[in-house]
Structure 1
Amino acid sequence: MKFEPIEVKDKLNRTIVIRSAIADDAEDLIKYLKVTTEETPYLIREPDEVAITHEQEVAFINNCLNSDKSLLLIATLNGRHIGNCSLNPIGSYRRYAHRCEVAIALYQEFCGCGIGRTMLEHMLKVATKMGFEQAELEVISDNKSAIALYEKLGFKKYGSLPDNMKYASGHYASADWMMKKL
């Protein structure tokens, strides 16, 4: 799905542009994956697992643009990619047609500035327009700031996934399954 660009102000009064990702963003998105997996333990990949090619990323972006049930938003500051947010159906079966999953991440230096909240608010509005009835996500249980944000947006925890991730160091992290009725 295509999302027309909007300008919003963050908590520092900077102008942030939120828009659909386009094929020209592929390299920035790959770089973003590599950097953010190094910055935080809360994402699903180890840094050395980011092996997406330019062609694969362009195909993913184009699939989102051409879908009526998926959306990939990016946030930019002065033309610089600073984060993104995605929306996808849980599955292709009619019994799952009411459910979507959302995911978001920002470069660490932009966390806590209200950008993630704004992106998610717009994403949830789009999800409702797409006909989804509930939005779901997984979040690492000790990611307190993300959980606080999701709760402010109306998500509730409905379950835990013990030992959901195993890090290269050998330790485990549990995750919470959260959902919001739209």
Structure 2
Amino acid sequence: MQYNQVILLKNGVECCLRNGMESDAQAVLDNFHLTHGETDYLLTYPDENCFDVMQESQFLKEKLESEHEIEIVALVGNAIVGTAGIEAVGKKYKIRHRAEFGVSVAKEFWGLGIGRALTAACIECAKAAGYIQLELNMVAGNTRAFAMYQKAGFVEYGRNPKGFHSRSTGFQEVIYMRLEL
């Protein structure tokens, strides 16, 4: 699945949204470590990343060649400042209509429209891939993300009061959201 779009951020700077490529592996890993260390709202901590550069490169290659999954990078200048992707929930008949969605943006670039643009790009790609439902999990305290997802059309369908166990704050309530495509 291919994606490439240039958007204008709220600060007037251009941002390129495109497929992550094998050559982006180190920059994607660096962005992962940065973003996952800047907030307690993401699924993992930087030290829980199990990919090395070769594995990340292979992951990006597979997403680039996939007809049903994608990993999109957001570039400002030559720097990757965010990533987002869709991944099949499974290949079995009963669940192959569903995809999971995730996004992260470097804190320095919050509030400029990158998260919203990456979300819209993933929705577009999920529709093109033939999915009927796009899903995400998010920490209830992340009110800015919740508002963004609601604006994009996602609706809450459940909560888990002990969905995440944060190293710093203890249990975090997780909200399950879905979007019918």
TM-score of the aligned structures, taking structure 1 as reference length: 0.95
Give the equivalent residue in structure 2 for 1:69: 68
Give the equivalent residue in structure 1 for 2:23: 24
Give the equivalent residue in structure 1 for 2:176: 177
> Secondary structure of the equivalent of 1:173?
strand
Give the equivalent residue in structure 2 for 1:102: 101
Give the equivalent residue in structure 2 for 1:142: 141
Distance 1:51 1:80 in 2: 23
Superposition deviation, residue 114 in structure 1: 0.9
Give the equivalent residue in structure 2 for 1:2: 2
Unpaired runs of at least 5, structure 1: none
Which one-letter code corresponds to 2:134 in the other structure? A
Distance 1:54 1:115 in 2: 25
Distance 2:132 2:33 in 1: 33
Give the equivalent residue in structure 1 for 2:119: 120
> Secondary structure of the equivalent of 1:162?
strand
Superposition deviation, residue 167 in structure 1: 2.0
Unpaired runs of at least 5, structure 2: none
Q: Could you tell me whether the CA contact under 8 Å between 1:85 and 1:102 is conserved in 2?
A: yes
> Secondary structure of the equivalent of 1:12?
coil
Post-superposition CA distance 1:151-174 (Å, at most 9, x none): 000001000012111122461111
Which one-letter code corresponds to 2:81 in the other structure? I
Post-superposition CA distance 1:49-90 (Å, at most 9, x none): 234201110111111112111000001011111101101111
CA RMSD across the alignment: 1.2
Whether 1:45 aligns to 2:44 is: yes
Post-superposition CA distance 1:108-151 (Å, at most 9, x none): 11111111111211221111111111110000011000000000
Give the equivalent residue in structure 2 for 1:33: 32
Superposition deviation, residue 47 in structure 1: 2.7
Distance 1:176 1:165 in 2: 10
Which one-letter code corresponds to 2:143 in the other structure? K
Superposition deviation, residue 2 in structure 1: 2.4
Q: Could you tell me whether the CA contact under 8 Å between 1:46 and 1:168 is conserved in 2?
A: no
Q: Could you tell me whether the CA contact under 8 Å between 1:135 and 1:179 is conserved in 2?
A: yes
Distance 2:93 2:50 in 1: 33
Give the equivalent residue in structure 1 for 2:156: 157
After TM superposition, the runs of 4+ consecutive aligned structure 1 residues lying more than 3 A away are: none
TM-score of the aligned structures, taking structure 2 as reference length: 0.96
How many residue pairs align between the two structures?
181
Distance 1:175 1:80 in 2: 31
Q: Could you tell me whether the CA contact under 8 Å between 1:139 and 1:176 is conserved in 2?
A: yes
Superposition deviation, residue 34 in structure 1: 1.1
Post-superposition CA distance 1:10-35 (Å, at most 9, x none): 11111110100001110011111111
